A and B are shown apart, each in its own frame.
Chain A
């Protein structure tokens, strides 16, 4: 388990991080989310013992990272934003060097090296000079150095940064494999990456922890905006439903042409839906021969109430879809909140 308490980092007089506290259980895959300057990289560098905190404590697997950084470094594999590579070394030589630096004996390195080359799919370029490799391969070499000593905890800072779509998929698969044997911390700007890879998210903004939890937990918070989409059949001229709606619409008494009737029906339905408890706004999406579609922003799951109101109004409810906020909107909302909180 990794436990950070009141972790704080000051660069000169500027507060870059904290105080923040969090825990990461063994076997978890946790994502760090935040805008540039949110403190993600600083937090990861502190956990990897690359930097020392200005205040607070870090406990990694029962070892105090400040008192015994060397012990913690043996347990952690770190892939920084820019992989720490030596361009003049070949891949195998570099990985062996990284392993030996992490207290592995030559025999252990010799045994482990083929496994790492296999996991990272670097066998074909094992004796190529790193400086001649593509960005994707270099990123893989970076992962290789992070796992060569079989650390329990793996910290990956923007592992898909600068990769093309194919390389991103490959890296995602690699991370998925690594999850089987490591507790993984990932920071990324690519939200789908985090969404697909992580069990839990830590959202940072201006150095502060804004929220933590699973994606569903973050998206389904009580004050979160959710979306209900409905498709309603309004009926033709002379249809009793249409008449009900016409009566409910304001200022439509004198209108007789079809377009105006449709508009008045649309307004009536919008007004009807807006009156449901929990609905904060209603927007019409489209009108088709089948009916009218509306999007409802809600602050709670009010599907039952919405469907009841529509049916009570003698309308045909053809479709009702419910969606929690996408990670992206959750992220923007949280980070936006963090900006205010940070100030």
Chain B
């Protein structure tokens, strides 16, 4: 636990002093603002319900969250390998799982910071008293969980290779597959269709739950489980690299 804290602190402070992170933060907020303006406010005209506008905002923000999660994480291990700093972690009395969890939590915390900076948008809608805090909180929990899966996938891709570009491409492909599993499942029949649809990370678990302000335990468990799965794969990949 102590090692996780040490690695978390180092990674989080690295985000805070990296120009890349702040450019990403600026883009994240800009894109969210533009999508809110054009996609949420502009989609239904002046008489649109605030709840619907909020839904559209979360719809757009989830894409930005997935993208930001990937950008924050795909370099985490590959960059360390490329810069040779991974040896410091590998030769310290630190478990591979502590390395992965420390880095994952730092990415998640920075993503949470980005999401917090975008809170002004739903709070503006809240000013009209048409929506509740719980709707906003549930939506933001969804954004964080979607981002969490994205970070775990990025981290796993990063553990696979020392080449950041390759890691980025692998992460993007995996995320595209996860996002479009539901659409893919429509081509199938019977049990496989159900399975693939349930594994989808966006259409089913986000759009039909968190985006609408509905908190389903099933959706939370799904995101936590997928995150855990990819973090576990990352740990096993690190372990395997020592044996190779």
Query: Contact residues of A with B, CB < 8 Å?
Result: 11-12, 48-52, 54, 69-71, 73-74, 76, 78, 80, 82-89, 97-98, 100-103, 145
Contact = CB atoms under 8 A, between A and B. Distances in A.
Interface in B1-51: 3, 6-7, 10, 14, 17-18
A83 B84 contact: yes
Contact of A73 (B7, B18, B92): B92
B93 A50 contact: no
Contacts of A51: 242-243
B90 interface: yes
A116 B89 CA distance: 20
A86 B85 contact: yes
13 contacts: A49-B90, A49-B91, A50-B87, A50-B242, A52-B243, A54-B243, A78-B87, A78-B91, A80-B84, A80-B87, A85-B83, A101-B94, A102-B92
Nearest to B7: A101
A51 B238 CA distance: 11
- Classify the secondary structure of B's interface with A: helix
B174 interface: no
B244 interface: yes
Contacts of B18: 88
B86 A84 contact: yes
From B86, B88, B89, B90, name the one whose CB has the most chain A CB atoms within 10 angstroms.
B88
Contact of B91 (A71, A73, A83, A88): A73
B90 A50 contact: yes
Interface in B71-96: 83-95
Interface string B83-115: 111111111111100000000000000000000
A86 B14 contact: yes
A178 B83 CA distance: 26
Contact of A84 (B17, B88, B242, B243): B88
A88 B14 contact: yes
Contacts of A145: 88
Contact of A101 (B17, B86, B88, B243): B88
B93 A102 contact: yes
Nearest to A78: B91
